[in-house]
Structure 1
Amino acid sequence: MIEAGIIGGAGYTAGELIRILLRHPEVNLNFIYSTSQAGKPVASIHQDLLGETDLKFNGEINSNADVVFLCLGHGNSKKFLAENTFSEKTKIVDLSTDFRISADDHSFVYGLPETKREEISAANYIANPGCFATAISLAILPLASESLLKEEVHVNAVTGATGAGTSLSETTHFTWRDNNFSAYKAFEHQHLAEIKQSVKNLQSDYSSVINFIPNRGNFSRGIHCTAYTGFRGGLEEAKELYQDFYKNAAFTFLVEEELHLKQVVNTNKCLVRLQKFGDKILITSIIDNLLKGASGQAVQNMNLMFGLEETLGLKLKANYF
């Protein structure tokens, strides 16, 4: 059994990670570290786990764990690793932004399995992609793989309230979110850097702008992304390209029908749909921001790192009804 630990156990991504790992056939959840909740039953915070586990939050880490997931606030993973050490055998999956840009001085591999499977399988340290970055990258990377991004890319995407984390702010209160919709961080979202990095890895000469407008929706979870750019080829040509690009992908699927979030919420799937309008291609992609956009993809990466079947513990059904 893989002995696993979680650092920062009280947030949404940690809650979903705990839920998955408790049911993973090859994992024993060894410890869940939380300075704010140490000593409390895990199910007292993650109340969907009542009756599922007797684990309590730990105030200490097990430095000999086989794998550790960092579910800390952005900027805190580097600080934590500077102050704490793990054994040489310990693999680390970081769910923050701290190690996602490869130009920075670190040994973390960017963990997007659809493009980095071999590197992930050989890695000891993984930087788990961001939620928006996952949905947008999976929408446009097949075009980049054939150097077919010739113009600016325009992206509009909306995320649920869980994308903001558990910390309260003016825009996370129910009275603000309910019956409301808003854009934020237009053209400046932090995930743009990793999206551009992924595009450049496949199409090094791409120099046009990726225009991204993120939106807040009044629902709990999921990301619905629409992206469009110039494309001179036909729709069938594009479909063949995407089918080939994702032929070995465990969780990313090209579909014909109109997409909606209930198809993916509570799963590790990304669904992609293509449409052609004149000389433009419209790509729609949908994911669950807490699973394929965070905890599910982290477990997918862990499976690859340990040579396990990629889908192990992740065959989840969408909450369609």
Structure 2
Amino acid sequence: MANIKIRIGIIGGAGYTGGETIRLLFNHPQAELVYVHSRSNAGNPLYTAHPDLQGDTELKFTDTLRQDVDVIFLCLGHGESKKFLQENPIDVKVRIIDLSQDFRLGESVNGRSFVYGLPELNKEAILKAENIANPGCFATAIQLGLLPLAKAGVLKEVFATGITGSTGAGQKLQDTTHFTWRANNISAYKTLTHQHLKEINRSLKQLQAGFSEPINFIPWRGDFTRGIFVSSCISTDKSLDEVKKLYKDFYKGHPFTIVTDDTVDMKQVVNTNKCLIGIEKEGDKIVVHSAIDNLLKGASGQAVQNMNLIFGLDETVGIKLKSIAF
């Protein structure tokens, strides 16, 4: 399948995840972006919503749903993907990759079932999948920090704090994303109740049957635009070397998740599809630090990674990206 061109449509192309998906696909050697759907922007060039695309393309947004494609990315708000598919039946031959939370807990629509698209957990199922429910951003960072412990059957109660950039709240302006409020500010939100906890628990139980310990998660809004940094604290009687071996063995063969012996900095992963993991131990507690770009490994980059897998490509094609570094 080395010479195939995957024909692609995007629904909801004017937002942050839509824009990131467009950028990735324009630079993907085996992708052909056929159309980008947006009712509010129909007829306008893509660069009117995404100014960085100026000079890259003259493609215009459309409000016409076409089905002459191999796959459709749904870059819609939560609750909108299921509604869209109910109102717009898509030919079963067209694959769906949904970036909302509408199908992450095993939901289906019009006979379509979805595989949870975390490659480090479900790679074999993704290879055979027709439709993908792309994981949430915080869910990705937290799960990648916990999965090896669950696989070993030693995961206990988790205390996690994570901070995310303003793009995690979407493109629509809100009081808590306005520059004058967000700058020089950090605040907690959805304390212990974040919506991603359900998919995290579901994945952990997939590896550690009967896991019922609490995941005590406090998300923070950060004073930056993109990136997620999570620190998860868990009790264990294993040594630091034993824990690190668990993680390195688990992620062997997964090119985007890197376990490092060095300090983890969020800047190392921003603008990449990587998850960087660092582990510390003090007494009977380990702290697992996991960092991702919320718009790439936490959204569009992982969606393209899933597309590569379901179409038989190397999962890294088109998403070997460089961090911002400085």
Aligned to 1:141: 147
Aligned to 1:64: 68
1:32-70 Cα offsets, whole Å, 9 max, x none, are 000010000001110111111111001101113100000
For residue 37 of structure 2, what is the amino acid of its counterpart?
Y
Percent same amino acid among aligned pairs? 57
Compared CA separation, residues 206 and 104, structure 1 to 2 (3 A)? farther
Task: Say whether residues 1:18 and 2:22 are aligned partners.
Answer: yes
Bigger mean CA deviation after superposition, 164-173 or 99-108: 99-108
Distance 1:71 1:88 in 2: 19
Aligned to 1:102: 106
Task: Say whether residues 1:228 and 2:233 are aligned partners.
Answer: yes
Instruction: Choose from 199, 217, 220 the match for 1:194.
Output: 199
Query: Contact conserved, 1:10 with 1:46, CA < 8 A, in 2?
Result: yes
Instruction: Choose from 260, 265, 276 the match for 1:260.
Output: 265
Distance 1:301 1:104 in 2: 18
Shift of 1:88: 2.4
Aligned to 1:46: 50
Query: Contact conserved, 1:64 with 1:86, CA < 8 A, in 2?
Result: no
Secondary structure in 2 matching 1:171? helix
Aligned to 1:243: 248
Shift of 1:267: 0.2
Aligned to 1:128: 134
Distance 1:7 1:246 in 2: 32
Query: Contact conserved, 2:107 with 2:114, CA < 8 A, in 1?
Result: no
Shift of 1:89: 1.6
Instruction: Choose from 59, 67, 92 the match for 2:96.
Output: 92
**Unpaired segments ≥5 residues, structure 1:** none
**Unpaired segments ≥5 residues, structure 2:** none
Shift of 1:207: 1.1
Query: Contact conserved, 1:64 with 1:87, CA < 8 A, in 2?
Result: no
Query: Contact conserved, 2:267 with 2:325, CA < 8 A, in 1?
Result: yes
Distance 1:26 1:207 in 2: 43
For residue 114 of structure 2, what is the amino acid of its counterpart?
F
Shift of 1:306: 0.1
Distance 1:37 1:58 in 2: 7
Query: Contact conserved, 2:99 with 2:303, CA < 8 A, in 1?
Result: yes
Query: Contact conserved, 2:115 with 2:126, CA < 8 A, in 1?
Result: yes
Secondary structure in 1 matching 2:175? coil
Query: Contact conserved, 2:228 with 2:291, CA < 8 A, in 1?
Result: yes
Aligned to 1:156: 161
Distance 1:62 1:152 in 2: 47
Distance 1:261 1:145 in 2: 26
How big is the alpha-carbon RMSD for the aligned residues of Structure 1 and Structure 2?
1.0
Bigger mean CA deviation after superposition, 285-294 or 197-206: 197-206
For these two proteins, the number of residue pairs brought into alignment is: 320
Secondary structure in 1 matching 2:312? coil
1:124-143 Cα offsets, whole Å, 9 max, x none, are 11000000000000000100
TM-score (structure 1 length as normaliser)? 0.98
1:223-247 Cα offsets, whole Å, 9 max, x none, are 0000011110101111111011000
Query: Contact conserved, 2:107 with 2:113, CA < 8 A, in 1?
Result: no
For residue 250 of structure 1, what is the amino acid of its counterpart?
P
For residue 48 of structure 1, what is the amino acid of its counterpart?
D
For residue 148 of structure 1, what is the amino acid of its counterpart?
V
Shift of 1:168: 1.0
